[in-house]
Amino acid sequence: MEEKYGSRERMLIALENRQSNYVPCSFMIFSALAEKCKDQFEFIEKQLELGLDAKVELPELPFRFHPEVKVKEWKEKSKSGCLLHKEYQTPSGKLTSVVQKTEDWPYGNSVPLFDDYLVPRSKKYLIEKKEDLEPLRYLFSEPTAGDISFFREKASKLKRFAANKDLLVSGGWRCFGSEKGIDKDGGTMGADALMWLCGVEKVLLLAMDEPETIKELLRIISEWNMKRMEVYLEEGIDLLIKRAWYESTDLWSPSLYHKLYILCLKKR
């Protein structure tokens, strides 16, 4: 007799690379449907109607800068079109970025801190040298007690919903709908942030010429990231998703990977 499993158990079995009654189908990204739903609850119900093994994603913790950070944005005309400038004024100095605004730019006249749109359009990245790291620390503040309390309240409702529907609970990947802020791309992260802060070419050159600079930058990101991950894990989630598209050996040689990433990954 064929053994049957609930959706949550079936998803956990698949994550453990074991065999269940059938392979679950669960989308990591389903924007076409999500954009038509008023909230995550409706989004999940629609997926269940399609026979999918939906997961319940906990909300993302707010992204905050140090209270002394001041942000200034402006635009300028150039021969190539419109350039968007963003300046972060911190107690340790200024950080600036410049982006070429294109027809498909989704953020109006604003520039996010993290986003794939930055990579092909940036004329100046936020981090260019070792001296930029001290000001950067002020952009990576840990969640406040109020942030965590608000997160716990929203997470509690979602977890009850997941338990009633027998669904897997995940955290760390993204937020839903209007919760997403201009200064972040959803998800806990590591080397993905390097590409947005420095650009691909600069990161790889620094990794070879100034490895200590990249190590310190990764340490800043990782310490901030782990404090956020701890909050998710304290909720007893089934799955923590971490962005790692730009941590693969498609970009990094085995020697650089071992030199730069192994220590951070072991700490996590």
pLDDT at 216 over 80: yes
- Which candidate, 135, 26, 49, places its Cα nearest to that of 87? 135
According to the model, what pLDDT value does residue 186 have? 61
Domain boundaries, the chain: 7-62+145-179
According to the model, what pLDDT value does residue 205 have? 92
According to the model, what pLDDT value does residue 176 have? 61
| Cα dihedral 218, 187, 60, 164 sign | negative
Q: Are 57 and 40 in contact (CB under 8 A)?
A: yes
Q: Are 165 and 11 in contact (CB under 8 A)?
A: no
Q: How many whole angstroms separate alpha carbon 151 and alpha carbon 167? A: 20
pLDDT at 3 over 80: no
According to the model, what pLDDT value does residue 79 have? 82
In tens, the pLDDT along 78-137 reads 888 899 999 999 999 999 999 999 999 999 999 999 989 999 999 999 999 999 999 999
According to the model, what pLDDT value does residue 178 have? 47
In tens, the pLDDT along 152-186 reads 999 999 999 999 999 999 998 866 654 445 566 66
- Which candidate, 68, 64, 72, places its Cα nearest to that of 88? 72
Q: Picking from 31-35, 64-68, 262-266, which range would have the lowest pLDDT averaged per residue?
A: 262-266
pLDDT band, very low/low/confident/very high, at 2 (cuts 50, 70, 90): low
In tens, the pLDDT along 40-65 reads 999 999 999 999 999 999 988 888 89
